[in-house]
Amino acid sequence: MNLILDKISKCFGDKIVLDDISLELTPGVYGILGANGSGKTTLMRILATVMNPSSGHISFNGQDINDMEHRYRELIGYLPQQVGLYKSFTAEKFLSYIAYLKGLTKAETQDKVTEVLDLVGLSEQRKEKVGKYSGGMKRRIGIAQALLNDPKLLIVDEPTAGLDPKERIRLRNLLSRISSHRIVLLSTHIVSDIEYIAKEVLILKEGQLIQKDTPQRLLNEIEGKVWTVQVSEGEILELQSKYKVVNIALVREKYELRILSDTRPHIHAISEVPHLEDLYLYHFDEGASQDAAVKV
């Protein structure tokens, strides 16, 4: 099973949102990293067929998805960034409605709705109106509807937004568990969501795919470029002006700075094992030095 994107571009007027994206996806989790406006959501919408590319083709197992039409839509599960719901519907009723839209029969729908509600931990609230749900519960309903048709291609845009840490871990485990026989495409700002489950990470910047590789190989790129150093308060400003400081933590009355730099930024700096978050900030966070928060 493979999904191939061939020179996909999307323009809104003069603005190029996606620029000549080509890649191949096979079963496993793909994490898409990118700053706001990098084109993540547009790419996901194009893959979910709710938006057309300005140019380029997408094929699934060698067939153009435009020719496949509803046969392609039958294979996908899509969670958009904003979860849309009918407030007056109960969770059960809403999921049944989406199940019918996905072409499930009445008998299949009943079983599948029960199964996905169980998966996202909302079985007990199935008779409650979704309008009364918390943000996290609404997100879980969104995830549940995406899984109703047992999709071969699962497209989830910021699935962990609004979820508490326990729910995030639960979702991460769920995606990891179901990814063995399907393609899961996941975009997020929260790097830890994909750090341990992504088969490959796609890095989008200003509409261009600048990196696509396994997390480990991507991290190799910044190997030897991540440093920590403990300094006094007076030295912070000087280091911030010269280097990309991604984190500041107060440790035993000293300030520990995490710095991205090609060279040793301070005589006492120690080289650290890079994390995906460092990679993200290495590529995107231009204002990291100024914005780095102090953790105590």
Partner 1 sequence: MQLLKYELLKIFQQKSLYVIFLFLLVFATLIADFPNVDLLKKDVYHRWEGPLTTEKVQQAEKNYQVLSKGFNLENTAFTLTDLSKLGMYEEIAVLHSTESANEKQISNIKNEHHYNSELQINMLQKVDHLNYVYNYRGPQQMIDFISFLSFLITGVMLLIGLSSIFSREYSSGVDHYILSTKKGRKALVWAKLGAALLYTLSVVSTLELYNFFITIIRIGNEGWKAPIQILFDYHRSPYAFNLLEYHLIQIGLHLLAAFGFALLILLISSVNKHALMSFFISAGIFAFPYIREFTQVQWLKTLLSFSFPYVMKVKPLFVDFQTVNVYDYPVLLPIMAGIIMLISSVIFILMIFKVMEHKQVTT
Residues that bind partner 1 (CB under 8 A): 45, 48-52, 70, 73-74, 76, 78, 80, 82-86, 88, 96-98, 100-103, 106, 109, 145, 149
Q: How far is the CB of 163 from partner 1 (least distance, A)?
A: 18
Structure tokens at 175: 């995606």
Taking the CB of residue 59, how many other CB atoms lie within 10 A of it? 18
d(CA 43, CA 55): 12
- Residue (110 or 230) nearer to partner 1, CB: 110
- Residue (51 or 190) nearer to partner 1, CB: 51
Q: How far is the CB of 36 from partner 1 (least distance, A)?
A: 15
Contact 43, 204 (CB under 8 A): yes
- Residue (54 or 290) nearer to partner 1, CB: 54
Q: How far is the CB of 76 from partner 1 (least distance, A)?
A: 6
- Residue (96 or 188) nearer to partner 1, CB: 96
- Residue (102 or 258) nearer to partner 1, CB: 102
- Residue (74 or 118) nearer to partner 1, CB: 74
- Report which of 284, 224, 221, 225 is spatially closest to residue 260, judged by C-alpha positions: 225
Query: Which helix H or strand E contains 255, and what residues bound it?
Result: strand 254-260
Q: Between the CA of residue 170 and those of 143, 160, 164, 218, what are the distances in Å?
A: 12, 10, 10, 26
β-strands 153-157, 15-25 pairing: unpaired
Taking the CB of residue 243, how many other CB atoms lie within 10 A of it? 21
List alpha helices for 120-275, DSSP H: 135-147, 165-178, 192-195, 215-221, 233-242
Q: How far is the CB of 236 from partner 1 (least distance, A)?
A: 41
DSSP string, 182-206: SEEEEE-S-THHHHTT-SEEEEEET
